[in-house]
Amino acid sequence: MSANSQDIRKSILAKWHEDLSKYGNLHSSDSVSGSSPPSVFVGSYNYPKVFVGPMVPPIHGDTELLDNPEKWSGKSLEEIVNFRLNLVRGIQKIPVNQTEGKYLENLQELAMSSKPTDSDLEFFKSTSSNISLDGESAPFGPIGEIKSAKFSHSSTEKSIEKTFYDHDLKAQDAVLNLYNSGIEISKIQKCFSIGMLGHDRKLVPTKWSITATDDIISKSLVEEILDYPLIDSYRIFSFEHLGNVFSIVLFPHRWIYEMIEAWYSNGVLGFGSDHEDARGISHPPAIAGAYFAAKLAVSEYLSKHKIQSGVVILREIRPEYAIPVGVWQVREGIRSAMKQNYLLADTFENALDLASKKMSISKTEWLLKGNIVKLMKQKTIADFF
């Protein structure tokens, strides 16, 4: 991402922090008692010794919705932010290579829970109201350093439990086993993060585990897709939610994929993009979280329909997306788009015309910032197999 793009992103984040003030009335106390959705979080600050702990709202009962992005379809940005700010994050500082001990074992049992788990946390002092925003993971409420923690054990997801006790599995295979067992992506990410998967286990910061999980699953799906016949039409899908507008173009071509993002800040238009061919991404990703989340969603569609295609995804981030709620919304937005009726075009150019029609950014601007046309004109070794 260019220096100018980074400056634009910084100003957007500053605005997000400012906007959060209107969501006030955050929990402030030296303790919290409630039902964890269940939810655990691993920070990245001070890596490799990071802050790890549960997230617990001051509410008892069915709190699953507070940390289940797959069930947030149709919710407003304000509703989602309020879900998240109800979650009080307890922390203890732990080295990432430490995945055993009573505290971590309790958190791992929490991550395996099939329903909300009653939890009681006591902090050394009243919780801090500093809100964390990084754009990758969803925001959460106050933070407190844990003095003591008690959890009521509940039933576990059997497929997660089985995978947890299989220390011979590689982490990548464990992720795929859980995905193929029907476990939700957000649940798999938590298990990955809290050091429950693979034979060489360690804690993984939540924002890294989100991208890693999306990457592992989408890469596996694309390997399948490469054996499917090419699509025989130009299909255009679109979807809009939470101030994000998505357009997806599928076109007859061996797997090739690009995602381009565009956003406004103080009247200035910024862009970011990443791309790959059948050999995978060959450069350090600039929009990594969103890129892999979108790739997972579109590859699910291709896998389900047993077809292969080229893919272009355009994402316009509008000013209404005032507070970032995590890259889950990209994954779920693309999933929703792929469930809609699609438009058909007779050429790639016409498909891009239709894709950019609902956006405030012209086709010409998208093409100037992208690489897909150049990639389509290049013949690679992969094209001959």
- CA distances for 355 relative to 28, 245, 319, 344, 369, angstroms: 47, 10, 20, 11, 15
Average pLDDT score over residue span 37-46: 96
Asked whether the beta carbons of 280 and 334 are under 8 A apart, the reply is no
Q: Report pLDDT digits (tens) over 330-354.
A: 999 999 999 999 999 999 999 999 9
Q: What is the predicted pLDDT for the residue at 380?
A: 46
CB of 107 closer than 8 Å to CB of 194: yes
How far is Cα 107 from Cα 99, in angstroms, rounded to an integer?
Answer: 10
The owner of tokens 């649940």 is 187
Identify which of 284, 264, 263 has the alpha carbon closest to the alpha carbon of residue 275: 284
Question: Which pLDDT value is given to residue 102?
Answer: 95
CA neighbor of 208 nearest in space, from 374, 96, 107 = 96
Burial class, 18, CB count within 10 angstroms (exposed 0-12 / middle 13-18 / buried 19+)? exposed
**77: nearest Cα among 293, 334, 320, 330:** 320
Q: Which residue has the higher pLDDT, 127 or 170?
A: 170
Greatest CA span in the chain, whole angstroms? 65
Closest listed residue to residue 181, CA positions, set 161, 200, 196, 155: 161
pLDDT attached to residue 2: 45
Report pTM.
0.90
Write phi, then psi, for 298 (nearest 5 degrees).
-75, -30
